[in-house]
Structure 1
Amino acid sequence: MIDLYYWTTPNGHKVSLFLEEAGLPYRIHPINIGKDEQFQPHFLKISPNNRIPAIVDQQPADGGEPLSLFESGAILLYLAEKTGRFIPQDLRGRQECLQWLFWQMGGLGPMAGQNHHFNRFAPEKLPYAIQRYMKETARLYGVLDKRLADRTFVAGAEYSIADMAIYPWIDRHAWQEQDLEDFPNLKRWYLGIQARPATVRAYALVEQVNPAAVKK
């Protein structure tokens, strides 16, 4: 059993996507970041950086005590290694997958997150910041569009944790002032993942956990 500490953000969706694809049993523990629940002592024991998502694996492969993990990329890699799924097993394929996983963690996520902040949430509209992060988001979309020109998924022919990490950020393209019509390969990839049954199930959690977000 996996205990998932979750809220309805792009980083939260990454882990629910994996769990639904893999069919692993899990329990949701909502952490409402709008109410600062990420600072509660019990959560900080699991996620010392006070960020979601985090997990506790009640049955780790070593047979030891329950294992807690934070950081969405580390969680995806752990779950892929636990199940032997959604990560290539050959040397070169694995490295392709990990490069794009880290590309999301170090590039797309932080830049798109700043885009969200300055476009939607900042108390003062700062044109320089808005334009900076919109342009950088567009550049990253272009990198991804080029990558997908000759392959079905980011790491090749098979769906992987790299796709699961990237998809939730592309799903917020409207927040980022990005038009998928400008990125046809990315659009094709996005619509394909959107239609996957596991994606539908993972995103259905929004209505269950945070109904107010459905209207946004």
Structure 2
Amino acid sequence: MNTVWMTVAAYLIGSISFAVVMSKLFGIADPRTYGSKNPGATNVLRSGNKGAAIMTLVGDGAKGWLAVWLAMRYQDQLQIGDATIALVAIAVFLGHLWPVFFRFVGGKGVATALGVLLGLNPWLGLATLVTWLAVAFAFRYSSLAALVAAVFAPFYYGLLFGVEPQLFAVFVMSALLAFRHSKNISNLLAGKESRIGSKSKDAVKAKKK
């Protein structure tokens, strides 16, 4: 029973879309209406409001970390195993991708996945973050950085901890993240992908109205 309610709770936590919440708080256009139409930090940044983008990044990452941290913190008291922690990790990530509070229209999961990895182990999260930063700094494509980091995350986990239930969760998140970036992959191959920091004309117009 503990596994069921913890998994549901994790999904509900993940369903909080900080991109939408912060956009409303900062008085900027809904990120689902401009740019990539993705409710995530990168698209919020296209509005030109760095503060909203930073808060979105922190919020989306924090919810992934919190769900996993709580499961691991109370693992003994609730008598749950590593398999439950893996389910919690997947559930909070799924909540971000398909949030029940926002008609199942969610983001691509980069920040939330990083939060989950940090919750599983700080070194795992740090290694993945460094990978993302290195690719993003070199090529200025958030999507490319996310895809490369997604490929390396399971490798890092296996290297650090071997084959455990949480490794399955990392594999699932990596596969879903790649799936959610399918359009970005096409844009990258066609040379049409937007670079980090580029503003969306739609967001600027929406802000003026």
Is the shorter-chain TM-score for this pair beyond 0.5, marking a shared fold?
A: no
Which TM-score band (shorter chain)? 0.3 to 0.5
Determine which structure has the larger strand proportion and give its number.
Answer: 1
Relative CO higher for 1 or 2, CA cutoff 8 Å, sep ≥ 6? Answer: 2
Determine which structure has the larger helix proportion and give its number.
Answer: 2
